[in-house]
Amino acid sequence: MTTAVCPGSFDPVTYGHLDIVARAARLFDGVTVAVLVNPAKQALFSPEERVSMLSAATADLSGVSIEVFEGLLVDFCRERGIAAIVKGLRAVTDFDYELQMAQMNSRLAGVETVFVPTSPEWSFLASSLVKEVAGHGGDVSGLVPPSVLRQLQARLDLP
């Protein structure tokens, strides 16, 4: 059984993330979505809230589970026997840093990274932009699942 991890902050999960997770689930026997807990980074949603949003949004995908992690991604992979990291590439601007991380993770633990090209539909999409647009009252429906939209509106105190 070959399993993969889709790591990220998911603050919050977007349809761009879900597209990559769904496609990873078709390539691998099992996929773990790993939510990074980074105490140095101020997040809008707690790790538990992010896990709960992801669990609801991936409920219809078989073989997908959600976990929280802290520390090195390769340690998370090693502890669970996960062979591959799946990352979406939105544009060439993602590539430099993603390549660097992929090479480091391969060097550290022999964990390989599989890059999946983001669907053109979502190539502009980032959680940070969703939060910025929503925070200024912009319409982000259609970019995140309805339940995430509701939680964004509540957290940002929007009507």
Comparing CA positions, the residue from 140, 128, 119, 150 lying closest to residue 53 is 150
Segment near ligand PNS (CB under 6 A); pick from 5-13, 22-30, 47-55, 59-67:
5-13
7 contributes a contact to ligand PNS by CB under 6 A: yes
β partners of residue 115: 87
Annotation marks residue 155 as catalytic: no
Segment near ligand PNS (CB under 6 A); pick from 20-28, 99-107, 112-120, 130-138:
99-107
109 contributes a contact to ligand PNS by CB under 6 A: no
Annotation marks residue 23 as catalytic: no
Task: Report which DSSP code applies to 84.
Answer: E
User: Minimum Å distance from CB 12 to ligand PNS?
Assistant: 11
Residue of 27, 29, 48, 72 interacting with ligand PNS (CB under 6 A): 72
Angle at 52 between CA 46 and CA 12, to 5 degrees: 55
Question: Beta strands of 29-132 (E only): which ranges?
Answer: 30-36, 64-69, 84-89, 112-117
Residues identified as active-site = 17, 41, 90, 127
